[in-house]
Amino acid sequence: MNLERDAPFLDFLRMLRCAAAVARYGGAMHAAEAIYLSQPVITRAVKDLEKALGVSLFDRGARGMSATTPGQLVFRRVEAFLSQLEQGAKEARVLGEPDKKILNSARYFAARVSPTSLHAITAVAVCGSEVRAAEHLNVTQPAVHRRLEELQRLAGVCLFHKSSRGTRLTPAGEALLRRVKLSFAELRALRSDLAAWRGEVRGELVIGTLPLSISLFLPRAVDNILLAHPELDIRVIDGTYEVLVEQLLRADIDILLGALRFPPPDGVQQKVLLEDSLAVVAHSGHEIFGLPNPVLADLLKYQWVLPLANSPAETVLHQVFADAGLPPPVGRLRAGSSALTRSLTVQTGRLALASQGEAQLGETALLSIVQVPLPQTVRRIGMAWRAEGDPAADLSRLLDELTKTYGGVASAKVNELK
């Protein structure tokens, strides 16, 4: 069970906080005063972190301690990590009812919450109970309960509801969980940034893909970047736009590829790579290819593999037929995966809507395009990623590869659509 994406260096959290304080305040003495620890503790934490990371984080001199180049990379990500946790505590308190007996600030939450509590909320969110979360974390159920109680005490708001069915997050808990996941993304970015500083590209990228047009550009781009950077791990998942955008904003995926929406959702930035149009496809032996000049009305005589309800593809399909004064195709078979749609089309003899570019790739000789024009079906295909924060080095390489290979391919029609 994949409960959470890797959060490297989370076990170094105490050391990271100490080192970040030194960078912020210019020395161990001032950092010790600011975060209420002794100077020897701060100094030891910094040395231990440098040893664990294998880099020198500070240049030490008579005037204090200044961050080295890798130190600047580390502290930028650590500050972003802490900022996400602080923002999560603030948002949780807006959505919940703060305990008036607890006066902790959101900054205090970020400065004190433990790695074990952060792991606990992600585990409980997916497992649905403290018992199953404990099994996953390889600890006891009382230990998980204590970690959740600590989390609620520091946040000062109810984060969980327990019932006979298990443990679920309150809206405040969901808000905090999202920020916890975003904080984990900063630690993954830190690992990637340090590897890039050493001249390597490492990390794991999770790519979310939408149906239609992905095979036009994703395989080549992924192959190019893996050939150049074989230490990079890439995982590709698919889904609907709404689900993938939610996963993007929660840092469950790093980038979304496919037909873009305009304007993009809040918190998302995007770039057009190319344009594609839709076409009707059928098994190459389908009887419709015996018609001399098929027209749109002819398509209504046959069964269809329809797009998912309320999807952009369904909207386009309905609009094409409505513009011609015709009802849309009807049926009870729907599919969101382009691969499944092609398979169903070949094996059932139904018509389907497909990316014209994909249909022309020649991946299978069993499918052919029905030569019936579908006006106004041009779609802008591209990439979307989180607007908040700086992309990690591995994601930046993928963005660059996609832009280099496909940026500027889109024709002037794209500009006409804006």
pLDDT (mean) for 327-356: 93
Q: Is residue 407 very low, low, confident or very high in pLDDT (cuts 50, 70, 90)?
A: low
d(CA 237, CA 190): 24
Q: Pick the range with the lowest mean pLDDT from 75-84, 105-114, 158-167, 408-417.
A: 408-417
Which element (helix H / strand E) includes 189? Answer: helix 171-197
Q: Does domain 201-275+380-417 have CATH number 3.40.190.10?
A: yes
pLDDT in tens, 218-256: 888 999 999 999 999 999 999 989 999 999 999 999 999
Select from 262, 204, 210 the least CA-distant residue to 232: 204
Q: Is residue 362 very low, low, confident or very high in pLDDT (cuts 50, 70, 90)?
A: low
* Residues 6+ away with beta carbon under 8 Å from 27: 64, 65
d(CA 178, CA 365): 45
User: Do residues 396 and 205 touch, judged by C-beta distance below 8 A?
Assistant: no
The residue with greater pLDDT, 5 or 31, is 31
Q: Is residue 211 very low, low, confident or very high in pLDDT (cuts 50, 70, 90)?
A: confident
pLDDT for the residue 215: 82
pLDDT at 86 over 70: yes
Kindly tell me the burial class for residue 263, based on how many C-beta atoms sit within 10 Å of its own C-beta (0-12, 13-18, 19 or more).
exposed
pLDDT at 418 over 70: no
pLDDT at 400 over 70: yes
SS3 160: strand
User: Do residues 224 and 405 touch, judged by C-beta distance below 8 A?
Assistant: yes
Q: From the CA atom positions of the chain, what is the Rg in Å?
A: 26
Which element (helix H / strand E) includes 315? Answer: helix 312-323
d(CA 17, CA 141): 29
Q: Retrieve residue 233's tokens.
A: 């791990």
pLDDT at 398 over 60: yes
Give the dihedral sign, CA 379/384/387/393: negative
pLDDT over 70 percentage in the chain? 95
User: Do residues 244 and 332 touch, judged by C-beta distance below 8 A?
Assistant: no
Q: What CATH number has the domain spanning 10-179? A: 1.10.10.10
Distances (CA, A) of 183 to 6, 60, 81, 168, 292: 11, 29, 5, 21, 60
**Upstream peptide bond of 307 is cis (omega within 30 degrees of 0):** no
d(CA 161, CA 383): 38
Q: Is residue 4 very low, low, confident or very high in pLDDT (cuts 50, 70, 90)?
A: low
pLDDT at 405 over 90: no
Long-range contacts of 132-141 (CB under 8 A, 24+ apart): 132/166, 133/167, 136/1, 136/3
Q: Which pTM does this prediction carry?
A: 0.90
pLDDT over 90 percentage in the chain? 81
DSSP 55-74: S--EEEETTEEEE-HHHHHH
Residue spans of the domains in the chain: they are 10-179, 201-275+380-417, 278-377
pLDDT (mean) for 362-381: 85
Distances (CA, A) of 319 to 113, 374, 376: 52, 10, 9
User: Do residues 341 and 238 touch, judged by C-beta distance below 8 A?
Assistant: no
pLDDT at 413 over 90: no
The residue with greater pLDDT, 314 or 5, is 314
pLDDT at 410 over 80: no
**Average pLDDT over all residues of the chain:** 92
Rounded to the nearest 10 degrees, what angle do helices 13-25 and 39-53 cross at? 110
pLDDT for the residue 315: 92
Q: Is residue 416 very low, low, confident or very high in pLDDT (cuts 50, 70, 90)?
A: very low
Q: Retrieve residue 417's tokens.
A: 């659509």
* Domains 10-179 and 278-377 in one fold: no
Long-range contacts of 324-331 (CB under 8 A, 24+ apart): 324/296, 324/297, 326/296, 326/297, 326/300, 327/300, 329/299, 329/300, 329/304, 330/304, 330/306, 331/303, 331/304, 331/305, 331/306
Fold assignment, 278-377: D-Maltodextrin-Binding Protein; domain 2 (3.40.190)
